[in-house]
Amino acid sequence: MGYAKSDGSAIYYEVHGSGPAVLLVHGSGGHHAAWWQQVAALRDRYTVVTVDLRGFGNSDSSMAEFDSLEFPGDITAVLEAEDLTDVMLVGQSIGAVAALRVALACPERISGVVLAHSLGGLSHPELSDLVAADRAEAVKLPVIDRLLSKDFQENEKARTFLFQQMGTFNVAKMADLRNLSTGGPTIEEITASGVPVCFLAGEKDAVISPATVTRAHELLPGSLLELVPDAPHSMYWEAPELFNAAVARVRDTLTERKAHS
């Protein structure tokens, strides 16, 4: 564990295990500890890196306001502090937007990026319309129902409560994240970067529909798609065994590709 310096801010991160690297980027209600079920399951096979973006968890929260456009720099600072290469970035929800920007900014360090329950801010007219339609439906639901299934909330009351408590450690709020997708990358820019992209989606995601994610996969040449049955938006929390297995499959695929390149 340690701190990396990013534009004068102290960015907290932890490194667990050894092997091919997987760096996990949390969503709007998370921080490094939200990945407890991933670290425990993956650290015996991989180097698992967790990070707190500024305003989240143990990272610098002293600013009067937060600009989410600084988040990619926070991740890059951790990569540089540990001199990490051949890294697979996994971004959860809005964290995927920052992860994709990092992958395009320093492809020499990145072996691939997993966009979990997100299109990563990809700029495309058709996809923008689909995302907007999904969002219009999502806002009709209470926030917790967008993120976790009703069955999980009923049967896993303790883990549901802990999930809700996670966000109370953060200073940055959703309003601070709204501009992160501004000027997002185009399909042409992603393709030109040569960075492999995998869309990881849940069939029961109430925030972004599997149809929208599937369409993004169809439009992005060479992309991978992991569409998990019965999984909600916060699959990493509610169904970690499914999430972890998908992450491991993609990481192993990227490692095998590199070995044969």
Phi, psi values for residue 7, rounded to 5°: 50, 45
Q: What local confidence, expressed as pLDDT, does residue 206 receive?
A: 97
Which tokens sit at 211? 């149809």
Q: How confident is the model at residue 74 (pLDDT cuts 50, 70, 90)?
A: very high
Q: How many CB atoms lie within 10 A of CB 139?
A: 10
Per-residue model confidence as pLDDT tens digits over 22-37: 999 999 899 999 999 9
Tell me the helix, strand and coil percentages in the chain, rounded to 5: 45, 20, 35
Predicted TM-score of the model (pTM) = 0.95
DSSP state letter for 230: T
Q: Residue 241 pLDDT more than 90?
A: yes
Q: In which order are the strands placed within the sheet that holds 110-116?
A: 2-6, 9-16, 47-51, 21-25, 87-92, 110-116, 197-202, 224-228
- The answer for residues whose C-beta is within 8 angstroms of residue 216's C-beta and 6 or more apart is 119, 122, 124, 127, 199, 223
Sequence length of the chain is: 261
| Averaged pLDDT for residues 82-98 | 96
Per-residue model confidence as pLDDT tens digits over 142-159: 999 999 999 999 999 999
| Averaged pLDDT for residues 114-132 | 96
Per-residue model confidence as pLDDT tens digits over 161-200: 999 999 999 988 766 666 777 788 999 999 999 999 999 9
Task: Determine if residue 66 is left, alpha or beta; phi over 0 gives left, psi from -120 to 50 gives alpha, anything else beta.
Answer: beta
Whether the CB-CB separation of 224 and 199 falls below 8 Å is answered with yes
Per-residue model confidence as pLDDT tens digits over 43-67: 999 999 999 999 999 998 777 677 7
